[in-house]
């Protein structure tokens, strides 16, 4: 009895989901930036600012689906690469500075040992 209730709950909850989550779909318009009007009226534009138009196979519903464009991904990749290079340069400078400090301390120690002889 509990199992039957669980299945009825599952089927009722899938009716609220977008059709592309529960059935096959075909992309009818490729991923493109949202227009100003779409950004205000279509909630799918919110997460990425890009949307693609899809048609679900079984129900023939036409819906919009949030997507990530290749251009946006490339831009984020190069931002990340730039940040990594920047951090690497900072740490390289810190290593050089620390190495010079240690070299000075070692030279000073050797100088004091030579003076004490």
Q: Express each pLDDT in 22-55 by its tens digit.
A: 888 888 888 888 888 888 888 888 888 889 989 9
User: Which is it for the CA torsion 87, 90, 96, 102, positive or negative?
Assistant: negative
Q: Are 27 and 52 spatial neighbours (Cβ–Cβ below 8 Å)?
A: yes
Q: Is the pTM of this model over 0.75?
A: no
Q: Strand 25-33: give its sheet, edge to edge.
A: 25-33, 50-56, 62-66
pLDDT digits (tens, 9 = 90+) for 49-108: 889 989 988 888 888 888 888 888 899 999 999 999 999 999 999 999 999 999 999 999
Q: Are 24 and 58 spatial neighbours (Cβ–Cβ below 8 Å)?
A: yes
Of 53, 48, 47, nearest in space to 71 by CA: 48
């Amino acid at each position: 009895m509990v199992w039957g209730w669980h299945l009825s709950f599952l089927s009722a909850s899938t009716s609220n989901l977008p059709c592309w989550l529960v059935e096959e779909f075909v992309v009818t318009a490729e991923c493109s930036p949202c227009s100003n009007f779409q950004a205000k009226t279509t909630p799918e534009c919110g997460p990425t600012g890009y949307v693609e138009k899809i048609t679900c196979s079984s129900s023939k519903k036409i819906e919009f689906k949030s997507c990530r464009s290749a251009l946006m991904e490339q831009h984020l990749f190069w931002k990340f690469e730039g940040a990594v290079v920047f951090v690497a340069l900072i740490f390289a400078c810190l290593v050089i500075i620390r190495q010079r400090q240690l070299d000075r301390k070692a030279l000073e120690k050797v100088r004091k040992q030579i003076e004490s002889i």
